[in-house]
Amino acid sequence: CWTRNYNMNFWLIIRLPILMAIGVNFVIFIRVICIIISKLQANLMCRTDTKC
């Protein structure tokens, strides 16, 4: 009874918002990682430049 989905509409109603939230969180995570990497690269460039 727990392993079979006879009506996929109920399964989609439950699972689709969860999957969308996971996808949005993954996109936000990737953007935060890109921002951190760009900040670290800018900090490293500032240390090698004598004008900073």
The pLDDT of residue 19: 96
- Cα 45 to chain center, whole Å? 27
pTM over 0.85: no
Residue recorded with tokens 């079979």: 4
The pLDDT of residue 33: 98
What is the block-wise mean pLDDT of the chain (52 residues), using blocks of 10 residues? 72 91 99 95 73 58
The pLDDT of residue 21: 98
The pLDDT of residue 42: 83
Identify which of 12, 16, 35 has the alpha carbon closest to the alpha carbon of residue 24: 16
